[in-house]
Structure 1
Amino acid sequence: MRLNIHTLIHPTIHKLAHEIIYQKSHNKLQHTDNEKTLGMLIFYEILRKWLKINNIYIKKVDVLKERHLLNKLDKYLILTNIIECYNILADIPRILPEPYLKHIDFNNININNSFYSNENLQEYKIIIFEKFLKNYGIIEIINYLHKNNQIDLNHIKIICLACNSNILKYLAKKHPQLSIYTIKIN
């Protein structure tokens, strides 16, 4: 089985990602807006198959109202370096019902002192977001989630703006059923 690598090809996503990856914007406000917009577009692409919307029809005496509600029973956990990615994640609660954010420093991972040793993570759909997938810390996290918490790897999605091909090769050997969404492969 091969690794599920999804390259996002939408031109707007590519334009915004290119500006962020190569730091083209010198205007701080424009850069922040670009990151927020990019975050919304990427998460829309990734979550459109995961999100379930329930249509509810309310019949009154003389009118029929229609409402579209997200399923509140679905739980989403986003593992990310919040310090680096806060702008990209700022508007995610607009499309994702009550996301649960947890900070992870991918450069300095200590599994034993980490947060997920006490929690039941099997009830979550897990999104691992890293701007630049360039170190092997993510592999430690995935191994831990899979072995110690018995997380089904189909419930994990990895999102990154750019990723290292060596890490993708390693993930393909160890966990080929993972889904990775990226814009650029180095």
Structure 2
Amino acid sequence: MKLNIHKLIHPIIQKLAYEIIYQKPQTVDQEKILGMLIFYEILRKWVKIDNIYIKKVDVLKESYFSNQLDKYLIITNIIECYNILADVKRILPQSYIKHIELDKINNIFSYKQKLEEYKIIIFEKFLKKHGIINIINYLQKHHITNLNDVKIICITCNNNILKYIAHKYPQLNIYTTKII
């Protein structure tokens, strides 16, 4: 029963997370910056960038494009996490955000999409409720995706929830700044 928990220890991430956890952030920009830094740290090995060189008669032009075949679905409570996820499309252009209230889950995905095409990111600001387990159970039960392709991201997470997830889904990857 081993769970892949990755603690983000970058000093800037730690400082911004501390301010959000224990103090009220001074500005919305602090949450946006924290969101960008967290997503950068987590996705830098997952996102593929293609270099394209265009040779003209006199000039060689270089451009960078994210892999257009990779699609990302971010499952989150937009009301609670909007400030953190506001600029995520800048680093993940092929991303879609799905609003879910974790404590009111009945039919998570009522719309028809091929969710197996997506790399799934579950983002929760403070992972302290068992609603996350309902999402994971739904994904597993309906064979929507390989759970190895699911990343759970949170600023803080509760130790009891981690134990439960570790017991039931040890293959999941969880990224956090602090375990409470």
Shorter-chain TM range is over 0.9
Residue pairs, 1:89-168, within 5 angstroms: 89-111=85-107, 114-116=108-110, 118-168=112-162
**TM-score scaled to structure 1, two decimals?**
0.92
Deviation of 1:83 (Å): 0.4
Distance 2:30 2:11 in 1: 14
**TM-score scaled to structure 2, two decimals?**
0.95
8 Å Cα contact 1:78-1:101 kept in structure 2: yes
Deviation of 1:119 (Å): 2.4
8 Å Cα contact 1:6-1:181 kept in structure 2: yes
In angstroms, what is the RMSD of aligned CA positions?
1.3
Amino acid at match of 1:95: I
Matched-pair identity in %: 69
- Tell me which moved more, 115-124 or 75-84: 115-124
Amino acid at match of 1:6: H
Greater than 6 Å deviation, 4+ residue runs = none
1:105-151: per-residue Cα shift (whole Å, max 9, x none)? 0122223xx32563221000000000011111111111111121341
Distance 1:96 1:127 in 2: 12
Counterpart in the other structure of 1:22: 22
Amino acid at match of 2:153: I
Residue pairs, 1:15-54, within 5 angstroms: 15-25=15-25, 27=26, 30=27, 32-54=28-50
Distance 1:115 1:150 in 2: 10
Distance 1:102 1:147 in 2: 19
8 Å Cα contact 1:56-1:68 kept in structure 2: yes
8 Å Cα contact 1:121-1:149 kept in structure 2: no
SS at match of 1:115: coil
Deviation of 1:24 (Å): 3.7
Distance 1:100 1:150 in 2: 16
Task: Report the structure, 1 or 2, having the larger helix content.
Answer: 1
Matched, 1:11 2:5: no
Amino acid at match of 1:68: Y
Distance 2:100 2:144 in 1: 20
Amino acid at match of 1:58: I
- Specify whether residues 116 and 2 from structure 1 end up closer, same or farther in structure 2 by C-alpha distance, changes over 3 A only: farther
Unaligned regions of 5+ residues in structure 1, if any? none
SS at match of 1:73: coil
Amino acid at match of 2:136: I
